[in-house]
Structures are given as C-alpha cells and as structure tokens.
C-alpha cells in the first residue's frame, strides 16, 4: 500500500541542506559553511544574504554575455509558452534548424553540420561515437581506439571519462572504455612558468601521438580528442605550434581530430572558437556552455561535411545514426541559443576578448612574486594563478583561497591549487582590477 502520510523528514524544511548530494563538491564542508547564491546581474552574483560577488569564472565558463540578460529570459519564457516540448526524433522545430545554421556559420569553414545534445559530457560522447560510426561505415572498422590526453577533461560520461586525463575523475570508478590511451600533457612548469600567452616550449609533445601509433598501429585509432586549451585542469595554453603539429599527425595517419571547445567556444579566446584562434580546423568540435549563455542546458557537436556525408547512406527512409537524446534541440534551449547569438552579434562579444586580452594578461601577471605563486598563465580571456601545493595536502591551499575570496566578494573556479579565472566577455578594465586586487590580497592571507 502507498504511504500517503506527509513526509515528516527534514527535507521539507526550507534550506535543509541534507538531501541534495552536490556534484564535484566537498559536501560536508559546504554544508557546514554554505555558499548560497540567490541572484545574478551582469558581472555579479548576489548571495542569499545580499552580498555582491564579482564573477571571475563566467559561472562555469558559460555566462559569456554576463548574467541576467532579459532578452534571453524573455525568449525562454515565450518559447515555453508557445511550444514547451517537441519530439526531436523524426520531427523538428524551425528554431533548431535556424540555430544550427547560425552557429555553423560562425565555425571554421567546413564544420557545417551540427548535432545537438544537452551538455559538454554528452557532446564528448556523441563526437566519440560519431568517430567510431564514421570509420565503420568507411570500411575502417578496425579503428576503435580513442585517444585522449593527460590532464584533459571531457565530462563525466563513460566516453568522456575514459578519454579524460584527470586522475581523480577516473581512479574512483576503476574502469573505463577498452582501447583508450592518452598522449602526454603539455604542462611544463620547469620550462614554461610565467609564460605570457602561448608557451615557447613543447610543440614536440604532439609527437607523442606517433608513440601511440607505433604502439597500437594507426589502423586501430579512430580519433584523438583534446581541449585546445585545457580549462578544468587549470588553464593550460598549448605550446606554440603544438596544435598545428597534432593536426598534421592526425592527417598523416587518417585519425580524426576532435577539439573539445566546451570552454573555448563562443568567444573565450577573442575569436568565435579556439579553432579560429589557432588556425587549426578539427574534424569535429564539441561545444556547450556559452551556446545558451548558460541559461538552459545545451550541447552541440560540429562535424565536417566529410563525416556527415559519409554517414548519410542507406535507404532514404532509414535512420543514419542511432544516437540522440529526448532533449536534443529542446525548444527552450534553441530559443535561448538564438537570443544568445543575437546578443553576441549585437555586442560584438565573440571577438571582444581580443581587445581585452592584453589588459587581462598584464593584470594577472602583476601577481607574480606574491607568496607561493609558482605560475601565472593567460590566453584570450582565460587565465590561472597557480600556488605551490602544501606538503601532503595538494589542493588545500587552493580551496582556502577560493573560500577566502568568496567571503571577500570574488568567485573563481578552483582547480587543485590553481585559481582559474575567466570573466564574462562583457568585462571592463575596472572589473579586472577588482578581481586581481581581491585575489592578490587573498593570496597574501592564505599562507
């Protein structure tokens, strides 16, 4: 029999924090001293107790046009009222086609087909599956290996986790996709600490792909996936020439190159995508986050015509790809995406980062010389200040810095002992000054 009695448990009490198991969070510490947000406008969050916090991480690299954009909120409301949901399998909505065309237009030439999903994790898994399907159809079914890179992050699905190279994200789960391997990461503190923009040393690390080709055979490798600039492991700009070299090696060996642009997409480097910034066109590009300014979950995989057309075979009334999500191209996400694109265009935000990048770089590098600062990195409107780890307590100093900054009005993304900073693309010089000032003071306090 169903128990219809009211639930007497504490979950009914407003602000009881027990039931919500928070993602990627130190749950027990958080619940002792919660950091609760209630609102956001432009460059700031507002806490539940009314404090203003300057947002130095664009939410989580997603609110590129800043917060509280009424144009997007109105588009979302209007769309939910007009068409709340539409089946994306065998049916479509005009907005999905419009959004796909408009974002494909922004992408490097050739990446002209878009597959929608709902997150960066789903985008990574989708791209990896498309790579495998493409090779199968193309008579190269032995290409089943997926190659990632150490210190890479491609979300938390089994595909993305497997090719990912963040040790804690893999180790706890003990298993991953078979056949996966990793090339070496490019982070070189000894050779490149305090580099401005792209570090000088390390292009040859791309040749690590040759090692895996020699080990496994090119004919077994389907794709390599890398973030052009790894973000979650603390903003690691690639060495000069590295991505170009990786592209050449993929071409040489018939391996598909996937750029994970979930962070770098939609203007973060001062170009629409990192692929534009580096002048390197991958075969596929995964995106999410900034596509809707973070307002509604959405992801998108951009595919080359070669891949798309390669899969458009078989009887015309048969599905070409057995993949998709209930919420692929969700009407509300499409509406949010279209309104977001309008703002990006009207305010020139996809290239604004280029004009702010120099000021951003110089401001961040002023923190050199402060206690425990072992590296400062920057590219476009991304940056990181890395502190030395405490003996036997990696991440502890970074965590304390994050909490201290939040208490004093600054939010950034903690990545181990690094503070990853990347403001909304509407940022002004005065905001950058404020961010750097709070961060610098906190670094001096956190011993």
Ligand X SMILES: Cc1ncc(COP(=O)(O)O)c(C=O)c1O
List residues near ligand X by CB under 6 A: 119-121, 124, 153-155, 227, 231-232, 260, 262-263, 288
At 286, list the tokens.
């995964």
Residue number with CB closer to ligand X (135 or 154): 154
Rg over CA atoms, the chain = 22
* C-alpha separations of 319 from 123, 253, 265, 312 in Å: 20, 30, 29, 9
Residue number with CB closer to ligand X (153 or 406): 153
At its nearest, how many Å lie between ligand X and the CB of residue 286?
7
Residue number with CB closer to ligand X (120 or 353): 120
CA nearest to 99, candidates 85, 82, 116, 111? 116
5's CB contacts (< 8 A; 6+ apart) are none
At its nearest, how many Å lie between ligand X and the CB of residue 162?
13
Residue number with CB closer to ligand X (62 or 212): 62
* Residue pointed to by tokens 């709070």: 438
Output the CA torsion 30→33→37→41 (10° steps): -110
- Residue 411: CA count within 13 A, CB half-sphere: 21
At 218, list the tokens.
């090119």
Residue number with CB closer to ligand X (288 or 439): 288
CA nearest to 141, candidates 114, 113, 179, 176? 179
At its nearest, how many Å lie between ligand X and the CB of residue 308?
22
Closest residue to ligand X using C-beta atoms:
120
At its nearest, how many Å lie between ligand X and the CB of residue 145?
20
At its nearest, how many Å lie between ligand X and the CB of residue 91?
25
At its nearest, how many Å lie between ligand X and the CB of residue 120?
2
Residue number with CB closer to ligand X (296 or 334): 296
**Residue pair 421/57 in contact by the 8 Å Cβ criterion:** yes
């Amino acid at each position: 029999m169903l128990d219809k009695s009211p639930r007497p448990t504490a979950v009914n009490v407003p602000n009881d924090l027990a039931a919500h198991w928070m993602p990627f969070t130190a749950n027990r510490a958080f619940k002792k001293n919660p950091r609760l947000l209630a609102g956001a406008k432009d460059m700031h969050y507002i806490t539940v107790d009314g404090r203003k916090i300057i947002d130095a991480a664009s939410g989580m690299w997603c609110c590129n046009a800043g917060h509280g954009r009424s144009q997007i909120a109105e588009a979302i409301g209007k769309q939910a009222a007009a068409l709340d949901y539409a089946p994306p399998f065998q049916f479509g909505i005009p907005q999905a086609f419009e959004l796909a065309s408009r974002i494909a237009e922004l992408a490097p030439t050739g990446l002209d087909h878009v597959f929608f999903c709902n997150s960066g994790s789903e985008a990574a898994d989708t791209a990896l599956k498309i790579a495998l399907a493409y090779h199968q159809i193309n008579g190269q079914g032995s290409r089943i290996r997926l190659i990632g890179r150490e210190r890479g992050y491609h979300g938390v699905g089994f595909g993305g986790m497997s090719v990912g190279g963040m040790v804690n994200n893999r180790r706890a789960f003990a298993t991953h996709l078979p056949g996966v391997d990793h090339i070496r990461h490019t982070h070189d503190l000894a050779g490149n600490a305090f580099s401005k923009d792209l570090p000088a040393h390390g292009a040859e690390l791309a040749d690590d792909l040759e090692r895996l080709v020699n080990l496994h055979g090119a004919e077994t490798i389907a794709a390599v996936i890398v973030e052009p600039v790894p973000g979650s492991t603390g903003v690691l700009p690639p060495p000069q020439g590295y991505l170009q070299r990786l592209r050449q090696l993929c071409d040489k060996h018939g391996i598909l190159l996937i750029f994970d642009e979930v962070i770098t997409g939609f203007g973060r480097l001062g170009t629409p995508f990192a692929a534009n910034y580096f002048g390197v066109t991958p075969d596929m590009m995964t995106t999410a986050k900034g596509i809707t300014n973070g307002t509604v979950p959405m992801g998108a995989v951009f595919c080359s015509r070669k891949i798309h057309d390669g899969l458009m075979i078989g009887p015309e009334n048969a599905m070409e790809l057995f993949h998709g999500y209930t919420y692929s191209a969700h009407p509300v996400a499409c509406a949010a995406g279209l309104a977001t694109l309008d703002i990006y265009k009207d305010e020139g935000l996809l290239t604004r980062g280029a004009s702010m990048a120099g000021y951003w770089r110089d401001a961040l590098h002023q923190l050199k010389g402060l206690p425990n600062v072992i590296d400062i990195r920057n590219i476009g409107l991304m940056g990181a200040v890395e502190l030395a780890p405490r003996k036997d307590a990696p991440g502890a100093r970074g965590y304390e810095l994050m909490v201290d900054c939040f208490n004093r009005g600054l939010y950034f993304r903690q990545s181990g002992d690094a503070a990853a900073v990347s403001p909304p693309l509407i940022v002004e010089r005065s905001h950058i000054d404020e961010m750097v000032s709070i961060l610098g003071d906190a670094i001096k306090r956190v011993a």
